[in-house]
Amino acid sequence: MPNHSMLFLKLLPALLPLSALAAQEPRWLAGDHHVHSIYSAKFRPDPAAPDNLPEPILGGDSRHTTLRNAQMARQHGLDWMVTTDHGGPGHSQIAYDRAWPDIVAARRAMPDLVLFYGMEFDVPGGEHASFILPIEPGERAALRRIEGGFGKREPWPADPSRSTKPRMIEALRAMAALPAPPVLIANHPSRTATGLGAWGLHSPAEYRRWQQTAPDVVVGMEGAPGHQAARPKPGLDTAHGSRGLYGGYPTMGGFDQMTAVLGGAWDAMLGQGLRWTITATSDSHGHWREGGADFWPGEYAKTWVFAERNSASILDGLRRGRVFVATGGLIERLDVGVRAGGGSAAMGDKLAVAPGAPMTVTIRFRPAQAANADGAVPRVDHVDLIAGERAGAAGDHNPTTRVVRRFAADEWRRDGADWVIEHRMIAPSRPAYLRVRGTNTVQAEPAPDTPGESPWADLWFYSNPVYLGE
């Protein structure tokens, strides 16, 4: 039997159809890890029995079924999606009994979408994070265990001891101890900030503690939050009429200030040695055509992961930082490579390079090939190559971060459907990182967004870093 098994494995490539072989090859896969369904419920207490669990009102915070979300994700070009309902009293059992069968049915109905089961975790002592489980036999029980044991809104009557920052550290340890560890990504990280660098419920220091506690679980944060279709309306406050529903300090080019500020929080975390990956999501609750503040999954923002088309490879790509993000369909592909001393590295990789050695950085991007959901074909105005040191920067800033070079369109070389940029530079004297961003605007730096502006006129893409060091 072992010999027969080995023969089958050797013959497998010849037996599989071409479509199945293609699915096994790593490529850029577009996805969204923050999508709500009818199981993001509202809860109605019973005045006559206040100690009883409140009645869940399904569809109270999102009217879309899991299947509808999956269908729209595929329509807008996504290869993978995570359903992330958030909780309330007893929500873990609702997810176990009612949301899970819908996941199973949607997977059967949409086999061409990698559909993850997860939740928007109600962070003890904070806001939210996307909790993404590997597709495997224990996922249903694992979600109930973590939400039931640590979700801050799970108990009834409410238990203040469930909503402390030490409790979140306990939750992270429990996540890391699961037989098949999940991925956790912080959502809308500075939505509660009161100003530029005036952090609210979450700070870069807290996120560093998260990753130090569970480095294989905590991988990064939403660089571009959802709710990008929010518009001012009569009766709405500034937050609910602004992109991302950010009321304390606005998004910048649609991106959270932790990502958008050059040398800011993201660069500080990278400068302190973290591998910290940014993503972009829809946070879809209600579509703007239905009176909501959101786009469908993939309609505006995409998180691209270089992976094989399966659960394990996609999560591995997120963990390794093989990720870029883009809004408004500005680009469809982005590769950033560094060559030096006979070695090479791509996004998420580390390249051992001697200080002062010559390096060649190659940026290859594929611009929009067709109209986006707004009916326009966006065009990239310029591309920035950014560098910073990874040498123990303190605080929430990295003063070493700088734009190495800004490339205008006349400095790009055409190669088929792609544009290629090559830049030669000297390796820094200390461990460092390189990252790339681009935009359809003429802005040198992303400006704070104003309520009512069109998100389609303010598009950006960001790579995640290539890491340099001996």
Contact 90, 64 (CB under 8 A): no
Per-residue pLDDT tens digits for 391-448:
876 789 999 999 999 999 999 999 999 999 999 999 999 999 999 999 999 999 999 9
> What letter represents residue 456's amino acid?
W
Q: What per-residue confidence (pLDDT) applies to 23? A: 55
Asked if the model's pLDDT at residue 182 lies above 50, the reply is yes
What is the set of domains in the chain, with CATH numbers? Answer: 18-469 (3.20.20.140)
Check pLDDT > 70 for residue 9. Answer: no
The two beta strands, 382-389 and 432-439, are antiparallel
Q: CA nearest 192: which of 154, 247, 137?
A: 247
CA 270 to chain centre: 17
Q: What is the pTM of this model?
A: 0.94
Tokens of 126: 């904070």
Can you give the length of the chain in residues? 470
Query: What's residue 394's pLDDT?
Result: 74
Rounded CA separation 147/170 (Å): 13
Q: Tens of pLDDT along 106-151?
A: 999 999 999 999 999 999 999 999 999 999 999 999 999 999 999 9
